[in-house]
């Protein structure tokens, strides 16, 4: 039978706690990860550019969403790397593989964003 203590934080309290933990994660990512800071800066620069372009709702969501996706994948990659480093600083082939997978995911999300922005700008101005 499930322990009833796992169901203590429900409703608004759970949402407040989840928001607090998320804010802490964003702050930690910004503080500890140079790549995350660079991606956040790029997002802060390109979001007003997307607004200025007045692309329509769906293209705007694609432009900004692709930038946010890069930041999300970067945080997930950092979480994987942190968990692996916590377990052991020893270079193990499986640990390296997991880190390489995370890095590849970040690369693909950046490529995705660059393609979305590039194709939109080409269509708009090309």
Contact 54, 46 (CB under 8 A): no
Q: Is 81 a catalytic residue?
A: no
**Measured over all CA atoms, what is the biggest interatomic distance in the chain, rounded to whole angstroms?**
63
For 40, 71, 109, the CA distances from 35, given in Å and listed in that order, are 9, 9, 13
Q: What's the pLDDT tens digit per position in 59-91?
A: 999 999 999 999 999 999 999 999 999 988 788
Tens-level pLDDT at each residue, the chain (126 residues): 455 555 677 889 999 999 999 999 999 999 999 999 999 999 999 999 999 999 999 999 999 999 999 999 999 999 999 999 998 878 899 999 999 999 999 999 999 999 999 999 999 998
- From the candidates 33, 39, 74, 81, give the one annotated as an active-site residue: 74
């Amino acid at each position: 039978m499930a322990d009833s203590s796992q169901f203590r934080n429900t409703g608004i309290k759970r949402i407040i706690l989840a928001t607090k933990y998320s804010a802490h994660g964003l702050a930690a990512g910004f503080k500890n990860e140079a790549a995350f800071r660079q991606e956040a800066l790029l997002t802060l620069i390109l979001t007003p550019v997307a607004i200025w372009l007045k692309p329509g709702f769906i293209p705007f969501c694609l432009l900004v969403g692709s930038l946010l996706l890069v930041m999300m994948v970067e945080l997930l990659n950092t979480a994987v790397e942190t968990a692996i480093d916590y377990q052991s600083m020893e270079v193990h082939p499986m640990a390296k593989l997991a880190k390489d997978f995370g890095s590849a995911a970040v690369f693909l999300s950046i490529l995705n964003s660059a393609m979305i922005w590039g194709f939109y700008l080409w269509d708009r101005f090309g």
